Amino acid sequence: MKIYLANILTILASASTVLCGGYVLQDNIIGSGFYNAFTFENIADPTSGRVNYVDQATAQSQNLSYASSNDFILRADSWTVLNPSGPGRNSFRIRSIKTYTTAVMVFDIRHMPEGCGTWPAVWTTDESNWPNGGEVDILEGVNNLAPNTATLHTASGCTMPSSRTQLGTASGLDCNSATGCTVHFPTTQSYGSQFNAGGGGWYAMERTSSDIRVWFWPRNGAVPSDIQNGATTINTDNWGTPAADFPNTDCNYAQYFDAHNIIINLTFCGQWAGVVYSQDGCPGTCTDYVNNDPSAFSNAYFDFGSLRVFE
């Protein structure tokens, strides 16, 4: 009888944990573990960037990707002057083998790509069903221009309320199509050289059946203890107000979002970085810069401490 009661109490305790924002570690991806969890996509950039996404063998042989026991590096070529009529600058695009629906992803990032012409992104989508299966951009920006922007892209009919519980500022409430519904983060530390100057930090994205939320904590700021300590159970209720909040008020998540892979890529110029390149204060033309100034891309790299996924 005692045993049964203990079991019941355990079940009740774990059920209430789940309902209250508690999650358990499922995937703890560190160092060379990224090579098991992700595949390199050597595809043409759909947004026509001045980029050449290489395969894993090329990435490792050119040290564009490198893993140690606690770092995973992804970088662009920063030594080759390009032939203007040849392929773009070597870079990376990796996609997780697993897909996730309701989950919390915590990215410990020590350094992110910075510089004119760069367009890095950490995001989730179902590539075979875009845009109907939705897209969640967690970390994205161009030309080193802070702050970070988080964005949803969906099929038509999904919109966000103007009033939300978030620290960031919404621009665009219609998540449909190319523009999407964007939230600008509250601090410039969330992106580019200012992110890197502080040693980076943690990005976390929580997706439930009713909400998508994104947090950012700079490394030397106030960080929730479960994030800081790499705990195996986390509780998003203790994380405070997110930088971006996308509630399902006017968007049926079951209809607009399916199971997503995680994608991490770095392109150059293209339909976003290229278009606003001059207005962002960058020199010459984007394509010339990418072709002719390899050393300008020596800081165009990600250094991940870990990616931990909780369900």
Ligand X SMILES: *[C@@H]1O[C@H](CO)[C@@H](O)[C@H](O)[C@H]1NC(C)=O
Q: Are 180 and 152 in contact (CB under 8 A)?
A: yes
Contact characters 261-300, ligand X, x per CB under 6 A: ----xxx--x------------------------------
How many positions of this chain bind ligand X (CB under 6 A)?
Answer: 13
b/e burial code for range 53-67 (CB count within 10 A of at least 16 → b):
bbebebbeeeebbbb
Q: Which of 41, 135, 206, 311 is catalytic?
A: 135
Side-chain-side CA neighbours of 258 within 13 Å: the count stands at 9
Q: Which of 17, 66, 258, 294 binds ligand X (CB under 6 A)?
A: 66
Query: Other CB atoms closer than 10 Å to residue 211's CB: what's the count?
Result: 18
Q: Which of 114, 127, 140, 311 is catalytic?
A: 140
Pairing outcome for strands 118-125 and 261-268: antiparallel
Q: What is the smallest separation between the CB atom of 277 and ligand X, expressed in angstroms?
A: 14
* Residue 206 annotated to the active site: no
Q: Which stretch binds ligand X (CB under 6 A): 10-18, 39-47, 152-160, 243-251?
A: 39-47
Q: Which of 17, 28, 42, 47 binds ligand X (CB under 6 A)?
A: 47
Contact characters 68-87, ligand X, x per CB under 6 A: -----x--------------
* E-assigned strand segments in the chain: 22-29, 38-40, 51-53, 65-67, 72-75, 89-91, 93-96, 103-111, 118-125, 135-140, 149-153, 169-171, 181-184, 201-207, 211-218, 233-235, 244-247, 261-268, 301-310
Q: Between 117 and 270, whose beta carbon lies closer to ligand X?
A: 270
Q: What is the smallest separation between the CB atom of 109 and ligand X, expressed in angstroms?
A: 15
Q: What is the smallest separation between the CB atom of 122 and ligand X, expressed in angstroms?
A: 9
d(CA 107, CA 305): 8
Q: What is the smallest separation between the CB atom of 174 and ligand X, expressed in angstroms?
A: 18
Q: Which stretch binds ligand X (CB under 6 A): 2-10, 42-50, 220-228, 282-290?
A: 42-50
Q: Whose structure tokens read 């996730």?
A: 100
Binders of ligand X in range 118-157 (CB under 6 A):
119-121
Q: What is the smallest separation between the CB atom of 140 and ligand X, expressed in angstroms?
A: 7
Q: Between 61 and 238, whose beta carbon lies closer to ligand X?
A: 61
Tokens of 274: 């290229």
Closest alpha carbon to 109 in 278, 291, 305: 305
* Site for ligand X contains 109 (CB under 6 A): no
Contacts 24+ apart (CB under 8 A), 252-256: 252/158, 253/209, 253/210, 253/212, 254/209, 256/132, 256/134, 256/154, 256/155, 256/157, 256/158, 256/175
Q: What is the smallest separation between the CB atom of 81 and ligand X, expressed in angstroms?
A: 19
Q: Which residue is nearest to ligand X (CB)?
A: 267
* Residue 140 annotated to the active site: yes
- The residues carrying an active-site annotation are 135, 140
**Site residues (vs ligand X, CB under 6 A):** 45-47, 63, 66, 73, 119-121, 265-267, 270
